[in-house]
Amino acid sequence: MTSLPTHTQRKLGLVIDLDTCVGCHACVVSCKGWNTENYGAPLSDQDPYGAEPSGTFLNRVHSYEVQPTDGAAQLVHFPKSCLHCDNAPCVTVCPTGASYKRQEDGIVLVNEDACIGCGLCAWACPYGAREMDMAAKVMKKCTLCVDRIYNENLPEVDRVPACVRTCPSNARHFGDLADPGSAVSQLVAARGGMDLMPEQGTAPVNKYLPPRIKDRLDQSDQIDILAPFLAPVTDQPKGFLGWLDKALDRL
């Protein structure tokens, strides 16, 4: 049924820290690695070693340059995967019931056996979180690694999404955002976690932590006590140096 649940008991999702993400794309690779051999159809590539390689990914990292009105520009790396929206427009447009949001934990999934590959859900998602697989002709999206987080065959430390487990700079956090006491909820509260495109009314579960202002070399105060002694001695050389200066000028 592609009607949305009125309420989900938990809201499992990710908190992504734009301050610490270094843009290494490790989460992109680990996501592709895990998900190409687990839930559903593999994530195919087309022309992978040719001139125009293209493929299906569930997680991608953009990079933006932010230029403040004064001071140095800042580079922000921006990972983006499905935000498991509470008010997911991708679910309600699906004609077959293949797209659904789980009542128990809020994860948005695609039942690939029922997907007719119409692509309408990808149109409805404002974030570009859904990609049609060109080989399997079904819609692929982030599963929040549903086959890891409940998987008792894995050591407990691995029962988190592949991208979270891999991230070397701890920029991705996984947890229940419906529980105000959870570590992720506290992180969101402490760091001012935000929604992407709030005006679209999707009520995303995933939150983004804004980057802090980086060190500003151009604005740092000079506190070097020797600095006055290193200032240029004179602008107007006298004596021999003055004569040389003028002579060279005249040449």
Partner 1 sequence: MHPAPSIIAFTTLSGLGFGLFFWLGIGMPGSTGMVAFVFFAIAFALAGGGLIASAFHLGHPERGLLAFTQWRSSWLSREAVLAVATLAVMGLYAIGRIFLGTTWVPLGWLGAALAQGTVLATAMIYAQMKTVPRWRSILTPALFLSLSLGGGALLAGQVTWALILLVVAGALQLAWWWQGDRAFAASCTTMASATGLGAAGQIRAFEPPHTGPNYLLREMVHVIGRKHARKLRIMAFGMGYVLPVVLLLIPFSHVMGALAVISHVAGILAARWLFFAEAEHVVGLYYGKR
- List contacts with partner 1 (CB under 8 A): 1-3, 18, 25, 28, 52-57, 60-69, 73-76, 78, 80, 89, 92-98, 114-120, 122-128, 131-132, 134, 137-138, 194-201, 208, 210-211, 213
- Tokens linked to 85: 């929206």
- Tokens linked to 191: 């760091």
Binders of ligand SF4 in range 211-250 (CB under 6 A): none
Q: Which does 29 bind (CB under 5 to 8 A by kind): ligand SF4, partner 1, none?
A: none
Burial 165-189 (b: 16+ CB within 10 A, else e): bbbeeebbbbbbbbeeebebbebbe
- Residue 195's alpha-carbon distances to 40, 171, 190, 218, in angstroms, are 29, 16, 15, 32
Question: Which residue, 176, 161, 179, 180, is CA-closest to 206?
Answer: 176
Q: Measured between alpha carbons, how far is 21 from 220 in angstroms, rounded to an integer?
A: 25
Q: Draw the binding track, 105-124, toward ligand SF4 (x: CB under 6 A; -: no contact).
A: ---x-x----xxxxxxx---
Q: Which does 83 bind (CB under 5 to 8 A by kind): ligand SF4, partner 1, none?
A: ligand SF4
Q: Which does 80 bind (CB under 5 to 8 A by kind): ligand SF4, partner 1, none?
A: partner 1
- Residue 208's alpha-carbon distances to 12, 79, 116, 148, in angstroms, are 14, 10, 33, 23
Smallest separation (angstroms) from partner 1 to the CB of 93: 6
Amino acid in position 194: M
Residues in contact with ligand SF4, counted by CB under 6 A, come to a total of 42
Binders of ligand SF4 in range 9-68 (CB under 6 A): 31, 34-35, 58-59
Q: Which does 208 bind (CB under 5 to 8 A by kind): partner 1, ligand SF4, none?
A: partner 1
Q: Which stretch binds ligand SF4 (CB under 6 A): 67-75, 85-93, 178-186, 217-225?
A: 85-93
CB 193 within 8 A of CB 187: yes
CB 83 within 8 A of CB 202: yes
The site for ligand SF4 (CB under 6 A) is made up of 31, 34-35, 58-59, 81-85, 88-90, 93-96, 98-99, 108, 110, 115-121, 125, 127, 129-130, 139, 141-145, 161-163, 202
